[in-house]
A = this chain, B = another copy of it.
Amino acid sequence: MPDITHEAAYRAHTNIALIKYWGKRNPELFLPVTSSLSLTLDAFYTETRIQFSPDYTRDTLYLNHKQMEADEMAHISHFVDLFRQEAGVQAACQINSINHVPTAAGLASSASAFAALGSACNTALGLNMDAQQLSTFVRQGSGSASRSVHGGFVLWHRGEGDVSSSSFTEQIDDANWDIGMLVVAVNTEVKPFSSRAGMQHTVETSPFYQQWPAEVEKDLALMLEAIEAQDFTTMGEISEHNAMKMHATMLAAKPSFTYFQGESILAMHLVQKLRREGLECYYTMDAGPNVKVLCRQSDMAHIKAAFAIHFKPDQLIEAKPGPGPEAIQWKEAN
């Protein structure tokens, strides 16, 4: 048995951006071109335990009980290094991580994964960083993960220049009101680009990307007002428009590309149809084919029933606003 000197386990939830993060101004520090805003969701989360021990000879990670290859570990070790350096600790670690994401969803888990891992590092190494500071560390694992350091509606500030500490996240509203999200998991063969590659290709080749930062600035200001006023209609309209502008920047890249699949189009058309029929809901999409339908939680049952005509039950996942990271008791059975 190794001599475990530092250990902690955390659960963190994923988040869906309503104002998108699309483009880095500093890839080393994961500093974004724009601010962004998200809703943390209860339905998708990662549970992660980290153990530091002088007995370990190298960092290892078991993701869903499967050991990660050495070459994939480099980014993880680099991430944990940020915390080790801060704590003045040099011990290697063993990480166990379980993604609780419905299989069909294929949702990117890096947001919940790095938020859980960063939270566990923070506690295991006794750093006692507050969420704001923690978010600037978590950001360097995965940009969007920095938003999963809080629950509810979360604002990620772009920050200034190359100053890492200026680009932090904060909760702006606990979302403890009539808000929900139906995640429509869309069948796909192969993801054509990773989100990182798609982002980079767009920034480098899309003539419409130059307009993107100004659009985000306008959308974000309106969105903050709408959340403050709990104005669901404006929130929905801004979210949908912001997401589609992001996807428009990709379509205009050279060569053009899209994350849309046939079923994505179907889901978007279905949302438009429901709206015309008076059932208010809006779509957003990230760097993948899934469609996320923003709705009032009180309308969820009706909206899900309408989607159930076209999609299989395991393609439709209801989500409510979720909390920030929580310390958990690690169960070996996990």
Chain B residues near A254: list those with CB within 8 A. 237, 241
Smallest distance from the beta carbon of A238 to chain B beta carbons, Å? 9
Q: What separation, in Å, do the CA atoms of A268 and B268 have in the docked complex?
A: 18
Smallest distance from the beta carbon of A69 to chain B beta carbons, Å? 26
Chain B residues near A256: list those with CB within 8 A. 240-241, 244-245
User: Given known contacts A260-B260, A265-B262, A266-B262, is B252 in contact with A245 (CB within 8 Å)?
Assistant: yes
Which residue of chain B has its CB nearest to the CB of A256? B244
Interface flags for A228-272 (1: CB within 8 Å of B; 0: not) read 000000000100110011011101101110101111111011001
Q: What separation, in Å, do the CA atoms of A207 and B207 have in the docked complex?
A: 12
Q: Which residues of chain A from 95 to 125 have a CB within 8 Å of any chain B CB? A: none
Interface flags for A197-230 (1: CB within 8 Å of B; 0: not) read 0000000000110110011000000000000000
Smallest distance from the beta carbon of A325 to chain B beta carbons, Å? 34
Picked from B252, B255, B265, the residue with its CB within 8 Å of the CB of A248 is: B252
Picked from B192, B237, B255, B269, the residue with its CB within 8 Å of the CB of A255 is: B237
Which residue of chain B has its CB nearest to the CB of A214? B207
Copies of this chain present in the complex amount to: 2
A: contact size bracket: 20 to 34
A265:B255 contact, CB within 8 angstroms: no
Smallest distance from the beta carbon of A279 to chain B beta carbons, Å? 16
B211:A215 contact, CB within 8 angstroms: no
Q: What separation, in Å, do the CA atoms of A256 and B269 have in the docked complex?
A: 11
Chain B residues near A268: list those with CB within 8 A. 258
Which residue of chain B has its CB nearest to the CB of A245? B252
B245:A251 contact, CB within 8 angstroms: yes
Q: What separation, in Å, do the CA atoms of A214 and B211 have in the docked complex?
A: 14
Chain B residues near A208: list those with CB within 8 A. 208, 211, 245, 248, 252
Q: What separation, in Å, do the CA atoms of A127 and B265 have in the docked complex?
A: 49
Chain B residues near A245: list those with CB within 8 A. 207-208, 251-252, 256
Interface centre among A240, A258, A268 (most CB of B within 10 A): A258
Smallest distance from the beta carbon of A95 to chain B beta carbons, Å? 37
Besides the known contacts A208-B208, A262-B262, 20 further A-B residue pairs in the complex with CB atoms under 8 A apart: A192-B269, A192-B272, A207-B214, A208-B245, A208-B248, A208-B252, A211-B211, A240-B256, A241-B254, A241-B255, A244-B252, A245-B251, A245-B256, A247-B251, A258-B265, A260-B260, A260-B265, A261-B265, A262-B266, A264-B265
